[in-house]
Amino acid sequence: MITDIHCHLESVAPESLASFIAAGNKIGAVSMTLESAQQLITLKQQYPDAIALFLGVHPEVSADEAMIEAMIALIHQHHGLLSGIGEIGIPFFYLDDKTVIEKQQLKQQGAQLMARFVALAAEYDLPVNLHVVEDDIELVLPILQQYGIEGALFHWYEGSAIQLAQLHQCGHFISASPWIFVDDHYWQFVQTIPLSMLLVESDAPCKYNGEKGDPSMTVNVVSALAKHHQISIEQLTNILAANTCRYLRKSL
């Protein structure tokens, strides 16, 4: 069994979802907007045992206060269905054309918004699924500490050896994506992630070399990682399953 711990499931073809689940696998479904959250709730109700549902507002999305408040209300309404809060975090990619001062201001605003959702995670004792890039962990770690959030997932994270050690010391997790087959620098980083903090993801429908992402791609990620660590696929699958249980704080 493999858990694709970070997937935008509402954008995955129904037949791909059904096939992946039929093979005994599970999916961590993260929302981006209110619309995607509502779609994911429907899918969770359809596949209650196979989907771990995360609700939140993606930091790269332009969200007004009405959407934010509606998402918070949705989390309160459906907290019993949730496995966690996400995708939340700090904006990064849409800030490319901003000045240094503008970036700092927007990141601070993003951190304030993230804190509102982390507070909900603390209220319901749920893990968080995070969009955080490189140095932005310095904005995020104090928020997690403030609300007592342990074992957060930094999805598709890549940073320095020092930053990796920092996340490891704090007991957080990192999920590796199929980007390992596209970017050698990222693959080199993933090879250094301690197995005790490793999870896998597709981030579907993100494209890899022009191919639309799919949960089934996590199978190849697991195979490549097992080969690198010179252990069997079964051994690594068991390690990942144990890590996923620790992250979700429940058995699979």
The DSSP bridge pattern shows strands 211-212 and 207-208 to be: antiparallel
Does 87 show up as a binding residue in the annotation?
yes
Residue 219 backbone dihedrals phi, psi, to 5 degrees: -60, -45
Does 8 show up as a binding residue in the annotation?
yes
CB atoms within 10 A of CB 70: 17
Does 125 show up as a binding residue in the annotation?
no
Residue 113 in contact with residue 82, Cβ under 8 Å? Answer: no
Residue 219 in contact with residue 208, Cβ under 8 Å? Answer: no
CA separation for the pair 3, 241 (Å, rounded): 7
CA separation for the pair 153, 6 (Å, rounded): 9
- The closest of 61, 72, 80, 53 to 117, measured between CA atoms, is 72
CB atoms within 10 A of CB 147: 15
Does 150 show up as a binding residue in the annotation?
no
How far is residue 133 from each of residues 60, 73, 138, 163, 170, measured CA to CA in Å?
12, 28, 10, 11, 17
Binding-site residues for a divalent metal cation = 6, 8, 87, 131, 155, 203
Known binding positions: 6, 8, 87, 131, 155, 203
